[in-house]
Amino acid sequence: MIIRIVKMHFKPEHIGAFHQLFEERKEQIASFEGCQSVDMLQDIKDPCIHFTYSHWISEEALANYRTSAFFEDTWVKTKALFEYKAEAWSTTLK
């Protein structure tokens, strides 16, 4: 299993827009082949910092999602809301 963590720092005026976008697309992400779950986390001290935390059955499933038209559309809309460039990690439980 792959756990994908993406850290995003949004412009303060775009936090609500990101929450709305995530809620609109969360179910589609979670139902993508190979995705087991997806959640959004918000930093306690800095409300502009958010993380997505998703579980994938394999690196191949994650790669298929990341090359999909759905991901491209979602990512373009999300990136437009950033204050700083996102950081991402693909991890596994040990």
pLDDT tens digits, one per residue of 20-49: 999 999 999 999 999 999 999 999 999 999
Q: At what angle do helices 69-79 and 15-30 cross, to 10 degrees?
A: 170
How far CA 50 is from CA of 33, 60, 61, in Å, comes to 24, 25, 23
What class has domain 2-48+59-89? alpha beta
Quick check: helix, strand or coil at residue 92?
Answer: coil
- How many Cβ atoms from other residues are within 10 Å of residue 8's Cβ? 21
**Residues 65-74 pLDDT 10s:** 999 999 999 9
Q: Where are the domains of the chain?
A: 2-48+59-89
- 50 contact partners, CB below 8 Å, separation of at least 6: 7, 8, 9, 10, 15, 18, 40, 41, 42, 43
